[in-house]
C-alpha cells in the first residue's frame, strides 16, 4: 500500500514539474498564430487584457519566467519572453 501511494505521489509531482513554458516551445511560436494555436504549444494564458483592439496575454509570472504575446484580430503580432531555459 505504501509503495502504491509513493508511486502516485511521485507521478503527481512529475506532472506538476512538466511546464510547457520552455525556450524550446517558445521557439515554436510564429507570427499570425491564433491564441488557440499558441495555447496548444505553451498552455493556457495566466492573464489576458484587452486594450484598444489588442489583447495582451501573459504566461507565467512576470517576476520570474514568462512569455507575453499581443494578439490583434486573434493573430499573434508580438512576442517577448524572460527567464526561459
- The predicted structure's pLDDT at residue 9: 44
Does the predicted TM-score (pTM) go above 0.85? Answer: no
- pLDDT, residue 1, reads 58
**24-63 core/surface letters (b: 16 or more CB in 10 A; e: else):** ebbeebeeebebeebeebbeebeeeeeeeeebebbbbeee
Residue 3 has what pLDDT? 60
Q: What is the pLDDT along the chain (85 residues), one digit of tens a residue?
A: 556 544 444 444 344 445 899 999 999 999 999 999 999 999 999 999 999 999 999 999 988 899 999 999 999 999 999 999 8
| pLDDT at 74 (0 to 100) | 92
Pick the CATH number of 23-82 from 3.40.50.2030, 3.30.1450.10, 3.40.50.2000, 1.20.1250.20: 3.30.1450.10
Amino acid at each position: 500500500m505504501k509503495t502504491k501511494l509513493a508511486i502516485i505521489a511521485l507521478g503527481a509531482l512529475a506532472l506538476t514539474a512538466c511546464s510547457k513554458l520552455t525556450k524550446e516551445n517558445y521557439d515554436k511560436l510564429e507570427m499570425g498564430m491564433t491564441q488557440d494555436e499558441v495555447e496548444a504549444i505553451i498552455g493556457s494564458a495566466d492573464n489576458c487584457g484587452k486594450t484598444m483592439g489588442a489583447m495582451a496575454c501573459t504566461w507565467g509570472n512576470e517576476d520570474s519566467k514568462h512569455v507575453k504575446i499581443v494578439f490583434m484580430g486573434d493573430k499573434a503580432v508580438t512576442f517577448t519572453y524572460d527567464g526561459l531555459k
